[in-house]
């Protein structure tokens, strides 16, 4: 297994200054130099991010693999397949079916392609194409064939440094963004100033931004919450009630924090935040009750918009994995994530009985009811 999946140095999980976890102040995030954004991906999340940027007056470069969809955009001003209620000012969209064109014409590249298709989209590009660019990952998965986080793949294939890599995550369903319901997005990167600048382009009346430096932790948390959301869906399909589901999610949150702690983060406890008095923040630790961790887990497990919950619900009701996948029009990231994290955890060796049971259901044909009978006995 690739060593990049296990943090080789605990320094990569340096604790944060709590002030970086507060919603960003628009006056301090106002970009001094205009940056041009490009988006790779035109699914629900890519469309939602495009709406946010164009609502802020940005003209964006946007890749869509379908020329038919591009023509529909030009005449009807909305995405024909995803979030059709979101209307766009077509003059703010530079649409193309050539990914390299978007990358070369943009300063910041937002990658919103499902993790299972990342390599297919990027593998044929010039290895130097991302030189001088800022990359923002908007995926909530892990590359399934490589068992890599996106930053590891970009470093290996395109020599993208971690200082030029950012992630946008949090409890933010695309459907609610399209409806302009108040949402919170967390922008993560090790370069605090650049993270704040990028976040400033996304702040709208309906979108608040939060800053964070835990670039590895938030990505692993996003991968894990998809697995637990599949489990929550399975539980619903098996006719468990809300009482059980609340206990299941609470234990999943603790299991997630346990993995992050075992992987190299000190004091990764749900809701735990310790700090020294004065200006010395060296003993400050990540708050795992924050929106990007626990909040994202909660909404993905509970919301009817959650494709992972929907996928799990079908499994719980008796669909085979293949039948459930064919029935859904969108990718449930938790399916591949369960296998990837199973492999990764062979090295990390965290206690993850819930994730292990979901892996067995999805990949080893274990009956869902049998696996959940076992899960029941371990919950507290």
Indicate if the pLDDT at residue 68 is higher than 80: yes
pTM as predicted: 0.84
Q: What are the residues facing 184 on neighbouring strands? A: 208
Kindly state the helix (H) or strand (E) to which residue 192 belongs, with its residue range.
Answer: helix 192-200
- pLDDT score of 108 more than 90: yes
95 in Cβ contact with 70 (< 8 Å): yes
Closest listed residue to residue 354, CA positions, set 218, 239, 241, 253:
253
Per-residue pLDDT, averaged over 78-100, amounts to 93
Q: Could you read off the pLDDT of 147-201 as tens digits, one per residue?
A: 999 999 999 999 999 999 999 999 988 999 989 999 999 999 999 999 999 999 9
pLDDT at 54 over 70: yes
Q: Report which secondary-structure segment, H or E, holds 108.
A: strand 108-111
> Sorting pLDDT into bands at 50, 70 and 90, what band is 318?
very high
130 CA to centre of own chain: 21
pLDDT value, residue 289? 67
Tokens of 370: 């049998």
Q: Which domains does the chain have, with CATH numbers?
A: 17-213 (3.40.50.720), 217-378 (1.10.1040.10)
Residue 50 and residue 179: Cα distance in Å, rounded?
A: 14
Q: What is the pLDDT of residue 238?
A: 98
Residue labelled with tokens 């382009």:
201
Confidence category of residue 129, pLDDT binned at 50, 70, 90 = very high
Mean pLDDT (whole number) for 220-243: 96
Contact predicate 147/345, CB 8 Å: no
**What's the CA gap between 28 and 45, in Å, rounded?**
27
pLDDT at 329: 73
Alpha-carbon gap, residue 218 to 136, rounded angstroms: 13
pLDDT for the residue 94: 96
State the DSSP code for 4.
G
**pLDDT tops 90 at residue 107:** yes
């Amino acid at each position: 297994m690739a060593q990049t999946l296990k943090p080789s140095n605990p320094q990569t999980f340096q604790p944060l200054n709590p002030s970086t976890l507060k919603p960003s102040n628009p006056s301090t995030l106002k970009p001094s130099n205009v940056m041009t954004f490009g988006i790779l991906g035109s699914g629900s999340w890519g469309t939602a991010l495009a709406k946010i940027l164009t609502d802020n007056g940005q003209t964006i470069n946007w890749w869509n693999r379908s020329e038919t969809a591009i023509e529909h955009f030009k005449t009807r001003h909305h995405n024909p397949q995803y979030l059709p209620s979101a209307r766009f000012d077509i003059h703010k969209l530079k649409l193309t079916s050539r990914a390299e064109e978007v990358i070369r014409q943009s300063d910041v590249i937002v990658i919103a392609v499902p993790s299972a298709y990342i390599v297919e989209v990027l593998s044929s590009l010039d290895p130097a194409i991302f030189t001088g660019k800022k990359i923002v990952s908007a995926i909530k998965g892990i590359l399934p064939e490589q068992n890599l986080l996106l930053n590891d793949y970009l470093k290996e294939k395109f020599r993208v440094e971690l200082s030029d890599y950012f992630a946008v995550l949090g409890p933010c369903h695309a459907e609610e963004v399209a409806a302009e319901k108040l949402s919170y997005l967390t922008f993560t990167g090790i370069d605090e100033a650049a993270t704040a600048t990028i976040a400033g382009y996304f702040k709208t009346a309906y979108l608040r931004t939060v800053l964070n430096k835990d670039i590895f932790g938030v990505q692993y948390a996003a991968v894990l919450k998809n697995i637990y959301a599949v489990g929550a869906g399975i539980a619903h399909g098996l006719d468990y009630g809300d009482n059980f589901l609340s206990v299941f999610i609470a234990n999943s949150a603790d299991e997630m924090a346990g993995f992050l702690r075992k992987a190299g983060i000190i004091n990764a406890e749900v809701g735990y935040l310790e700090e020294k008095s004065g200006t010395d923040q060296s003993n400050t630790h990540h708050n795992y009750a924050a929106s990007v961790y626990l909040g994202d887990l909660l909404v993905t497990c509970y919301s009817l918009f959650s494709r992972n919950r929907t996928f799990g619900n079908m499994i719980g009701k008796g669909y085979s994995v293949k039948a459930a996948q064919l029935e859904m029009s969108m990718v449930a990231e938790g399916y591949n994530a369960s296998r990837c994290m199973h492999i990764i955890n062979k090295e990390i060796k965290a206690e993850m009985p819930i994730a292990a049971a979901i892996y067995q259901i999805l990949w080893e044909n274990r009956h869902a009811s049998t696996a959940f009978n076992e899960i029941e006995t371990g919950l507290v």
